[in-house]
Amino acid sequence: MAVLDQLTSQQAIDLENKYGAHNYHPLPVVLNRGEGVYVWDVEGKKYYDFLSAYSAVNQGHCHPKIISAMVQQAQTLTLTSRAFYNDMLGKFEKFACEFFNFDKLLPMNTGAEAVETALKLCRKWAYEVKGIDENQAEIIVCENNFHGRTTTIISFSNDPVARKNFGPYTKGFIKIAYNSIEALEEALKNNPNVSGFLVEPIQGEAGVYVPDEGYLTQAKALCEKYNVLFIADEVQTGIARTGELLAVDHEQVKPDILILGKAISGGVYPVSAVLANNAVMNVIKPGNHGSTFGGNPVAAAVAMAALEVIRDENLAENASELGVLFRSELNKYIETSQIVKLVRGKGLLNAIVINDDEESETAWNICMALKENGLLAKPTHGNIIRFAPPLVMTKAQLLDCVQIITNTLKQFEV
């Protein structure tokens, strides 16, 4: 089979099943083109993308400005490694530091790598600045977190599917309830070894759990009180998704360490980053950490273009406005619905909770029916369906999507 042979959907699925590890359970749709809020399958059927590659494609598929930055840079210089300087990385670092208001940036490639970077940075700070005894540093994390798939990260997950038979696990983490200031204070007081609090401002993978207003502000204040770093994982919530540039901006909270990934490249290229001020980032010295591809010239060019699109097209404002509209339209439907319990979220990161138990197939079946009706979404956990379209969506398109969603849900009402 030649690379350019046109496959049917079934052929593509069969190939993945036979030759690919079965580490995902995709919806049976095979895409071969994307533009803005739309994707097309290999048979030419058009869909609204209501997942945006887990909030990576915030700027819409194949945004011309981002693609052009990538093509131009790819024809000039792609990779130097950090053994040498390149003329793009510094520009990107300055741009992103000013954009997010931090002193320094450490570039990586994937979200999980950026989380690992933040954990290492926090531990090093703990020993070299806070003065914790060697190997005693502890980091507080939240129940039902999702921060990626590395061995250390799954060590503090409580998802049995992600953890089982991958031990032994990394030590040094304390798990507390999400959205509980009392639990945080309890974990902080009388434990001088705590060096960081790692938190998702909204728990995306867990099912779009939005904490109470004031939670992030109070958590940050507690971190300051106990001299502990507040580490915000904005890999999914960041870059305008929730209606502000960062989800912490809803409460004007400034993290000590900010973790970004996904939409920092508009979903065009793997780019992630950790940002911090000098007092924290300066503990990192040559040889402490790195990545062959981290901060490569293509990544730098793509990320700068992707952030410019967020700013120039006012995507945070659009996400905010469309998010309010989306929830209010769905709430009208839910008033008389038996099948949907509620809609929740911020900006264009939303989820509906299906009125069925977690083990039921209903959410999956609804996603299959949505697919038939021209809209792609995926359950997060059991009975929860996440809705996260590209932020370049128009109001008319959003209302069209609401129609598709509510018409589909009607098929499932008893």
Q: How far is the CB of 128 from ligand PLP (least distance, A)?
A: 26
| 205 binds ligand PLP, rule: CB under 6 A | yes
Among 111, 196, 243, 390, binds ligand PLP (CB under 6 A): 111
From the list 108-116, 168-176, 209-217, 295-303, the region that binds ligand PLP by CB under 6 A is 108-116
What's the chain look like in SS3?
Answer: CCCCCCCCHHHHHHHHHHHCCCCCCCCCCCEEEEEECEEEECCCCEEEECCHHHHCCCCCECCHHHHHHHHHHHCCCCCCCCCCCCCCHHHHHHHHHHHHCCCEEEEECCHHHHHHHHHHHHHHHHHHHHCCCCCCCEEEEECCCCCCCCHHHHHCCCCHHHHCCCCCCCCCEEEECCCCHHHHHHHHCCCCCEEEEEECCCECCCCCECCCCCHHHHHHHHHHHCCCEEEEECCCCCCCCCCCCCHHHHHCCCCCEEEECHHHHCCCCCCEEEEECHHHHCCCCCCCCCCCCCCCHHHHHHHHHHHHHHHHCCHHHHHHHHHHHHHHHHHHHHCCCCCEEEEEEECCEEEEEECCCCCCCHHHHHHHHHHHCCEECEECCCCEEEECCCCCCCHHHHHHHHHHHHHHHHCCCC
Residue type for position 384: I
Q: Which residues contact 87 (CB under 8 A, 6 or more apart)?
A: 297
Nearer to ligand PLP, 245 or 339 (CB): 245
Q: How far is the CB of 272 from ligand PLP (least distance, A)?
A: 7
| 235 binds ligand PLP, rule: CB under 6 A | yes
Q: Which residues contact 336 (CB under 8 A, 6 or more apart)?
A: none
| 204 binds ligand PLP, rule: CB under 6 A | yes
| 294 binds ligand PLP, rule: CB under 6 A | no
20 C-beta neighbours (distance < 10 Å), count = 9
From the list 142-150, 180-188, 274-282, 380-388, the region that binds ligand PLP by CB under 6 A is 142-150
| 236 binds ligand PLP, rule: CB under 6 A | yes
Q: Which residue has the tokens 């009975």?
A: 383
Instruction: Choose the catalytic residue: 262, 346, 371, 378.
Output: 262
Q: Is 341 a catalytic residue?
A: no
Q: How far is the CB of 345 from ligand PLP (least distance, A)?
A: 14
| 200 binds ligand PLP, rule: CB under 6 A | yes
From the list 63-71, 105-113, 128-136, 288-296, the region that binds ligand PLP by CB under 6 A is 105-113
Instruction: Choose the catalytic residue: 50, 99, 102, 146.
Output: 146
Q: Is 262 a catalytic residue?
A: yes
Q: Is 233 a catalytic residue?
A: yes
Q: How far is the CB of 235 from ligand PLP (least distance, A)?
A: 4
Nearer to ligand PLP, 69 or 349 (CB): 349
Nearer to ligand PLP, 34 or 261 (CB): 261
Count residues near ligand PLP (CB under 6 A): 15
Nearer to ligand PLP, 123 or 147 (CB): 147
Give the residue closest to ligand PLP by C-beta.
111
| 238 binds ligand PLP, rule: CB under 6 A | no
| 116 binds ligand PLP, rule: CB under 6 A | no
Nearer to ligand PLP, 80 or 170 (CB): 170
| 115 binds ligand PLP, rule: CB under 6 A | yes
| 246 binds ligand PLP, rule: CB under 6 A | no
Catalytic residue numbers, as ranges: 146, 233, 262
* Chain residues that interact with ligand PLP, rule: CB under 6 A: 54, 110-112, 115, 146-148, 200, 204-205, 233, 235-236, 261
